[in-house]
Each structure stands twice: as structure tokens, then as C-alpha cells.
Structure 1
């Protein structure tokens, strides 16, 4: 089953979901703004993506710029910030087994189908 961490208000997330829906795969849609991710789950996602937590932060978000960008965070602290402020998480995140990508651009998800 393919999992998409989805924000319906995001055009890239909607485009990624369209790609998945045409793939004939079973899809689990998680609206991560409604279903807040736990720290352990976000840790696993970061590991699957093979990135540093800062690479998952939407650094152009006003919330980030006004409240966090001037501060220093450990990787673990960044994960906690993202779980407390899920709007800072880059989207969409698509996971297929042990593979994961951030769907920017949306066609990037084709790499893991």
C-alpha cells in the first residue's frame, strides 16, 4: 500500500494524489494537518526519505521565518517543532514500502511506484 501525507489545500499535493489514483495501487491518504504526526513516525519518515530534518521544513513559510529560522535546533528538536507545527512539513510525502519521496515536483513520485 502506498501512503501519501496529503494537504488538500496544496496544488502539488493534489497533483501527486491524482498521479497515485491513476496508478491502480492501493492508497492510504493521511491528511497530516488533521492527524498530527507523532515524533516517532516523523523520525521514521525522515529516515525513509534519507534526508536531514531541516530538509523537510518549509523554510519559506511565514511561521518558520517569524518564529524559528533565527534559532538553532538539533535534528531531534526540529522533528519536535514539525510535530507541533505540521504546516511546516514539506508536502506531499509519498511512501511505498521502504521508499519515500517528497512530491516536488509531483512526477518525482513515479520514481517509487
Structure 2
């Protein structure tokens, strides 16, 4: 069975609920505090592909830094948005759960259970 990993923020209640949900289902995910160990630009590009999302969809738009950095400018390229997330991981929406070649955003936490549906 592929390993399960969660990009986690222990201060976020949704992230804590998602981690708890995984554990309730007998999963022991590898926990990565993505703010202490931020993903690289290449990792973010890979995650966006797995999530089938555009960079802006993975950004915390209510985070004050989002506006401060002018990221609400719709003309910004995907590369600029991805670089902003790599440089400021607080901008990355959380939690993200990885299972094999797949990933899901845990908003709401139950979204991540879809990753495991075909396990029987």
C-alpha cells in the first residue's frame, strides 16, 4: 500500500480534524509541517497537477499576506503565484493529503477519504 502523507499545520483546526480522520480510519500518515519544511516550486507544480488545480485555487486568499503581496492581481502568471507559495508557505491552503500518485485538499476534511475509496 502506498504511504500516506499530510501537509499539516498544527495550529489549523481543519488540518487537525483531517489528521484525526485519517487516524480514525487506521491510517498512519507521515506528517509534514509544510511551513517549517516548505515545498519547492517543482513540488508545488507536481501537487497542483495531482490536485487538478490552478495555483490560485491552492492559495489562502483570506491570508493578509495574499493582499499585501498583490496576489489578488488576476494578471499574475501561474509561475509567479507558485513562487509566492514556495517563498511564503503560509499562503498554501491546508491540509493536503497524498496517497500514491494522488492528492486531495482536506476542505472539508472528508474530501481526503475519496483517495482511499478504491481500497475496498
TM range (shorter): over 0.9
For 1:1-113, list aligned pairs within 5 A. Answer: 1-68=3-70, 69-70=72-73, 72-113=75-116
**Secondary structure of residue in 2 paired with 1:59:** coil
**Secondary structure of residue in 2 paired with 1:30:** strand
TM-score normalized with structure 2 length: 0.88
- CA–CA distance in 1 between the matches of 2:106 and 2:29? 15
- CA–CA distance in 1 between the matches of 2:100 and 2:48? 14
State the 4+ residue runs in structure 1 displaced beyond 4 angstroms.
none
**Secondary structure of residue in 2 paired with 1:15:** helix
Point out where structure 1 has 5 or more consecutive residues left out of the alignment: none
CA RMSD of aligned residues (A): 1.2
TM-score normalized with structure 1 length: 0.94
**Secondary structure of residue in 2 paired with 1:80:** helix
Number of residue equivalences: 113
- CA–CA distance in 2 between the matches of 1:111 and 1:30? 21
- CA–CA distance in 2 between the matches of 1:43 and 1:70? 20
Point out where structure 2 has 5 or more consecutive residues left out of the alignment: none
Deviation at 1:71, TM superposition (A): 6.4
Structure number with bigger Rg: 2
